[in-house]
Amino acid sequence: MPERQPRLVMENIVKEFPGVRALSNVQLSLYPGEVHALMGENGAGKSTLIKVLTGVYSIDNGSVVLDGKTVHIKNPQDAQEKGISTVYQEVNLCTNLSVTENIFIGREIKKHGRLAWKEMHKRAEALLASLQLKIDVTKLLSSYSVAIQQMVAIARALNVSAQILILDEPTSSLDRDEVKQLFSVIRKLKKDGLAIVFVSHFLDQIYEITDRLTVLRNGEWIGEYMTEELDRVDLVSKMIGKELQELEAVTKNVSHESAERETFLTADQVGLKGKIHPFNFDLKKGEIVGFAGLLGSGRTEIARLLFGADKADQGTIKIKGEKLNFSSPRQAIVNNIGFCSEDRKAEGIIPELTVRENIILAIQSVNGWFRYISKTKQTKIADEYIELLNISPANPEQLIKNLSGGNQQKVMLARWLVTDPELLILDEPTRGIDIGAKTEIMKLMTELSQKNKAILFISSELEEILRTSHRIAVLRDRKKVSEYQNQKGLTQQELMKEMAGGM
Amino acid sequence: MGKSIMRSRLFWPIMVLILILLINLFFDSSFLSIEVRNGRLTGSIIDILNRGAPLMLISIGMTLVIATKGIDLSVGSVIAMSGAIGAMSVANAETDGLGPLFTAIALALVISTLVGGWNGLLVSRIGVQPIVATLILMVAGRGVAQLITGGQITTVYYDPYNFIGGGYLLALPFSVFIVAFVLLLAVLITRKTALGLFIESVGSNPDASRLAGINSKNIMLMVYLFSGFCAGVGGLILSSNVMSADGNNAGLWFELDAILAVVIGGTSLMGGRFYLMGTIIGALIIQSLTTTIYSIGVPAETNLVVKAVVVLIVCLLQSPEFRSKVFGTGKLKKTKEQKESEGVTLS
């Protein structure tokens, strides 16, 4: 491949933000017809590099050479005109517009000065068909799943005759089949000669789909490798710059004799029409229960009912034997329950507030508006958890929106840890964050359970569930279908079969 | 660091205010002088403070509403209603005792706060968009005010009523004390309790705030209640100033001036952070503009155009992008270095 002319060469890229050198002397080269992985931990500079490439940020130093010519990418439109398209981690589409509108927005097809809807619908259908997707393009985007929205985002990116396609965490909200589908699309695009940048935290996927990879760490360029020549252990140690033993330090929690433990929560035939079939469930102190299930299987819905984010329309929830059906999250929080939502952007962070304010928000709302925690005390709390969870940058006055995804996630954890909950519900806490942070979060869960806290752990990563949980509940089609004690013999295959059902 | 940001946010509005005052000084060398007459401080500055009182008041309420990503278009109409209620209830007072005065104040304020609460209920409980919900009261409120006054201007001959907007205390206009009191109340209640944090949180991300245990609905209800209350006080001052009830013109376009004042003060219409002191500066800029236009003899018809130009200038000055384009990137770089020296690093 290297003997061909590269499509893009970025050299000595430097990007600074107030107080942070986000990129220092980073390079990246892309060839037509390759899938190139961009690897690194949270805060390594992947997102910044992508934003530089797509014209969102201007660079402070360095050069960008596109097809042999030095270019200056002024803004996102300019990047698109130069053939660089992006599908971002969080799908950035307008869900209240139709599929067609989303694909053509900003570059509508016109005939005689009027919008040519028929033509656009046809073209949208053809575009999606090339991605093996057949849907009604006149329907609102919000009526489709996240996976399909993702495909629409790709179709939109392709519509601008892209030369370079950047996929930032495209698989983080897709299930197995959908990932397969996406990969076949990627292979097709690769054959068509596109240069594809692929960002993902899933190592399996990196090895399955990419040809070469570039590793970044703390804003610095670590190296460029052929994917097949670099084994996983080396890759991971290059990314985190730590010894690998630490990764293995999370010991597997095999179910222990939990008979004498006090029950914290009991759900008896709790359900909500259209969301989740009535289920029974109990959770003991010091226990980690994993929820395994595909997207849309009802795992988030159960969590929301237990937390009072949605109100159950049947059944009873008991906390330590007392009947309590929460009608608001506040009541749940007052009863020592915490909930980290899977949708960090929409239901987690308060973007305009600082890290400090985000951390103390839940404990302050338990205290009520009148008993204000003094600024000094707030800073003390924030500093403590910044250190404990290794949040970077370690500045409590930084606005949270300026932090990387993994660090935002840690702030969310801090928000709940401050309230010292007896039950912590973690919905996909490890999604979209790097291995180092994942390990830290799993370690933390184990520590909490040793301190007699109950944890409900929802994850798409069966490996993580098997590693940490004492008990595992499997969900399928909005129903809780079975429950396992996590014993040595229990395998991912067994869980997967149960999740898929009908075997 | 928070303080220096706060300072820089207020910096440009204050500069503009000073500039306006200097322009006045250029045309009228006695503009800044304050004299004592009959034990009362008089002068243009005092005038601006006095006449700007209603605008400052409703802008304080508006700030908190805007911080929750809302808007309150009804304040002008609530001013008319409150003024009409206050003035009409003392119009036929037969004594010069203080009884009717307090009744009028209580009646006007309670009803203004209640109609503010009506806005709050529509927005927080029914989920009506703020601009629509308050538009309803904007229309209805003026209608009610006109019904109360019978569509006519009714003059009040009850002297104590004049004290609210025209009285003096410790040589200063009484209205200045009212503004100071409400401002102090707002600052204390938002910054010395967690209310300010909750308001900013709800404005920045209502769903996440609810999941963090904040009762977003009550927060919203409260800011509209407070906005109604502020408009009520403003209405009393205005009608007391002219000693009459005028349902047609009292408080006309005040909502727009208030929104401008809030924006000039640095609070974003997207909700989130709010700056009460910025709002006060913003309201003072608008009021001194009006005063300036009258005092330097520019035709009154140009008032609105000049106002718009000044507001535009303030908004441009506040935009970092505009500043870096016009004044070069030097300033941005400097702050970058400054912040770097504070030792924040990524690792």
Count of pairs with CB atoms under 8 A, one residue in A, one in B:
115
Nearest CA in chain A to B336: A18
Both tokens assigned to B329: 């990137």
CB contact under 8 A, A16 and B194: no
Q: Which two tokens stand for residue B149?
A: 């006054």
Report, as an integer, the average pLDDT of A255-266. Answer: 69
Provide the CB-side half-sphere exposure for B186 (13 A, CA).
30
The answer to whether the CB atoms of A365 and B346 lie below 8 A apart is no
Residues from chain A contacting residue B207 (CB–CB below 8 Å): 346-347
Number of other CB atoms surrounding residue A451 within 10 Å? 9
Residue A456: its pLDDT value, please?
93
Across the interface, of B211, B271, B342, the residue whose CB is closest to A309 is: B211
Task: Please tell me what DSSP assigns to residue B301.
Answer: G
CB A86 within 8 A of CB A110: no
Residue A35: CB partners within 8 Å, gap ≥ 6?
Answer: A186, A190, A196, A198, A209, A210, A211
In this structure, which amino acid lies at residue A137? Answer: V
* Residue pLDDT, tens place only, B197-251: 999 999 999 999 999 999 989 999 999 999 999 999 999 999 988 888 887 888 8
Is residue B335 predicted with pLDDT exceeding 70?
Answer: no
Checking if the pLDDT of A22 tops 90, the result is no
Q: 3-class DSSP state for residue B334?
A: helix
Res. A247 pLDDT band, cuts 50 70 90: very low
Q: Which helix (H) or strand (E) is B40 found in, with range? A: strand B40-42
Contact A364 B197 (CB under 8 A): yes
- Provide, as residue numbers in chain B, all residues whose Cβ is less than 8 Å from the Cβ of A364: 194, 197-198
List C-alpha distances in Å: A254 to A228, A261, A263, A366, B65.
Answer: 34, 16, 19, 35, 53
| Assigned token pair, A86 | 């992006």
Mark yes or no for CB contact B215/A364 under 8 Å: no
Task: Tell whether B170 lies on the interface with A, counting CB pairs under 8 A.
Answer: no
Give the pLDDT band (50/70/90) at residue A89: low
A163 touches chain B (CB under 8 A): no
* ipTM exceeds 0.90: no
Q: Is A333 on the interface with B (CB under 8 A)?
A: yes
- The backbone torsions φ and ψ at residue B31, rounded to the nearest 5 degrees and listed phi first, read -60, -40
Stretch B320-330: mean pLDDT: 69
| B258-316 residue pLDDT tens | 998 998 888 888 888 999 999 999 999 988 888 887 777 778 787 778 778 877 877 77
pLDDT higher at B113 or A108: B113
Choose from A365, A386, A426 for mutation: most chain B CBs within 10 A.
Answer: A365
Are B201 and A350 an interchain contact pair (Cβ–Cβ within 8 Å)? yes
Arithmetic mean of pLDDT, A64-82: 87
Map A372-415 to HEC letters: CCCHHHHHHHHHHHHHHHCCCCCCCCCEHHHCCHHHHHHHHHHH
Report CB contact under 8 Å: A20, B344: yes
State the amino acid at position B292 in one-letter form: T
Confidence of residue B38 (pLDDT cuts 50, 70, 90): confident
Please give the distance of CA B31 from its chain centroid, rounded to a whole number.
24
The residue of chain B with its CA nearest to that of A240 is B347
Total residues belonging to chain A: 503
Mean pLDDT throughout A126-143? Answer: 83
The residue whose two tokens read 């237990």 is: A306
Give yes or no for residue B345 having a pLDDT over 70. Answer: no
Q: What is the 3-state secondary structure (H, E, C) of A301-345?
A: HHHHHHHCCCCCCEEEEEECCEECCCCCHHHHHHCCEEEECCCHH
**Of chain B residues 201-220, which have a CB less than 8 A from chain A?**
201, 203-205, 207-215
Handedness of CA A362, A365, A369, A371 (dihedral sign): negative
pLDDT by residue (tens digit) across A386-434?
Answer: 988 888 888 899 899 888 778 888 899 999 999 999 999 999 888 767 7
Contacts of B336 in chain A (CB under 8 A): 16, 18-19
- Give the pLDDT band (50/70/90) at residue B53: very high
CA distance B238 to chain A (A): 34
Closest B-chain CA to A416:
B212
CA-based torsion, B90, B93, B96, B101: positive or negative: negative
Tokens of A198: 């692929």
Q: Distance (Å, rounded) from C-alpha B218 to C-alpha A330?
A: 13
Task: Round the average pLDDT of chain B to a whole number and report it.
Answer: 83
Output phi, psi for B133, to 5 deg.
Answer: -60, -45
- Taking alpha carbons only, the member of B61, B99, B98, B104 closest to residue B84 is B104
Strand partners, A28: A10
Q: Which residue has the tokens 């006055």?
A: A397
CB contact under 8 A, B200 and A353: yes
Q: State how far Cα A56 lies from the chain centre.
A: 21
Portion 387-426 of A in contact with B at CB < 8 A:
392-395, 397-398, 415
Q: Which of A34, A29, A83, A35 is nearest to A55 (CA)?
A: A83
Proportion of chain A above pLDDT 70, given as a percent? 91
| DSSP collapsed to 3 states, A13-68 | EEEEECCEEEEEEEEEEECCCCEEEEECCCCCCHHHHHHHHCCCCCCCEEEEEECC
Percent of chain A, pLDDT > 90?
A: 17
Q: What is the pLDDT of residue B73?
A: 93
Please name the residues between 257 and 316 in chain A that touch chain B, using a CB distance below 8 Å. 307, 309
First to last CA, chain B: 21
Phi, psi of A80 (to 5 degrees): -65, -40
- The per-residue pLDDT for B336 is 40
* Chain A touched by B320 (CB under 8 Å): no
Token pair listed for A393: 């940058």
pLDDT, average across residues A284-289: 90
Question: B190 CB near a chain A CB, below 8 Å?
Answer: no
Instruction: With beta carbons under 8 A apart, name residues in chain A contacting B204.
Output: 350-353
> Domains of chain A, with CATH numbers?
8-243 (3.40.50.300), 262-336+423-503 (3.40.50.300), 345-420 (no CATH)
Does A346 reach chain B within 8 Å, measured CB to CB? Answer: yes
Q: Can you spell out the DSSP letters for B247-299?
A: TTTTTTTHHHHHHHHHHHTT--TTSS---HHHHHHHHHHHHHHHHHHHHTT--
Question: In sequence order, what DSSP letters do the residues of A189-209 get, joined into one string?
Answer: HHHTT-EEEEE-S-HHHHHHH
Residue A48 CA: distances (Å) to CA of A14, A22, A165, A411, B118: 10, 7, 16, 20, 47
What are φ and ψ of residue A190, in 5° steps? -65, -45
Where is pLDDT greater, at A175 or A128? A128
The whole-number pLDDT of residue A426 equals 93
Q: Closest Cα to residue A271, out of A306, A307, A312?
A: A312
Q: What is the pLDDT of residue B341?
A: 35
- Confirm if A142 and A86 have CB atoms less than 8 A apart: no
How many CB atoms sit inside 10 A of residue A98's CB?
A: 21
Q: Do B211 and A339 touch (CB under 8 A)?
A: yes
Q: Which residues pair with A61 in a beta bridge?
A: A14
| Closest Cβ opposite residue B346 in set A349, A371, A393 | A393
Q: What is the mean pLDDT of chain A?
A: 83
**Does residue A249 register a pLDDT over 60?**
no
